[in-house]
Amino acid sequence: MFENRPNRDAEVVFVGRSNVGKSTLMRELTGHNKFNTGKKPGVTRKPNHFDWNSESFMFTDLPGFGFMSGVEEDHREVIKTDIVRYIEENAEEILVGVLVVDGKSVIDIIDRHSGEGEIPHDVEMFYFLEELGIPTVVAVNKMDKVDDKDERLNDLCDRLGLYPPWEQWQDDTIAPIVAKRGQIEPLKETLRHHFHEAKRDDLLKFVK
């Protein structure tokens, strides 16, 4: 179980598979180097909180879920259960849930796990956040490695049950980014949208 959550009344959580670039994205958003990044999946095992006490606000980088080399399946399931429980228990404070996916591989991964009775982790997490009433943004990272951007994003919308074209979701749901190069403006735009909708314009300064 994840302990020691700072007592803050507004939070943005980042979820996603291991190695999709969540920690790099957090570093770009906060300008802070406390977020470990590494070639080895599963570097983040506990939530990383970056909080502003005076604003009672924080960004939280949750551990990666799904396959991790060198991590037993039982332990992967424990991590996933902890992530789900954390989000459920703090849903009222979570202003936005950001699902980070790898633009290059996400469609293949979803399709590979779409057998009968199976729901891919990414799709499941998207629906889970939505069901809890948490505004959900999909940050589609590593878009510099994608040849046909529009086709890929339309395919992703299709897999998530959103009607293409993807452009109609770019204000509030779909954010193509390249975290490594600091190209994260589309994500900031969606966060600004949701902060404004939540009547929290006081937080806009964190996503300038």
Q: How far apart are CA 54 and CA 202, in angstroms?
A: 12
**pLDDT by 10-residue block (mean), the chain, 208 residues:** 82 94 92 59 70 89 75 77 94 97 95 76 94 98 97 97 96 97 97 97 94
Helix and strand numbers (H, E) in the chain are 6, 6
Structure tokens at 16: 């996603």
The predicted structure's pLDDT at residue 45: 67
* Predicted model pTM: 0.91
pLDDT score at 70: 62
- Residue 104: the pLDDT is 96
Instruction: Show Cβ contacts of residue 72 under 8 Å, excluding neighbours closer than 6 positions.
Output: none
Q: What is the pLDDT, as a whole number, of residue 168?
A: 97
Measured distance CA(202)–CA(195) in Å, rounded? 8
- Rounded alpha-carbon distances, angstroms, from residue 112 to 102, 106, 118, 125, 157: 15, 10, 10, 16, 17
Give the SS3 label for residue 99.
Answer: strand
The CATH architecture that domain 10-207 belongs to is 3-Layer(aba) Sandwich (3.40)
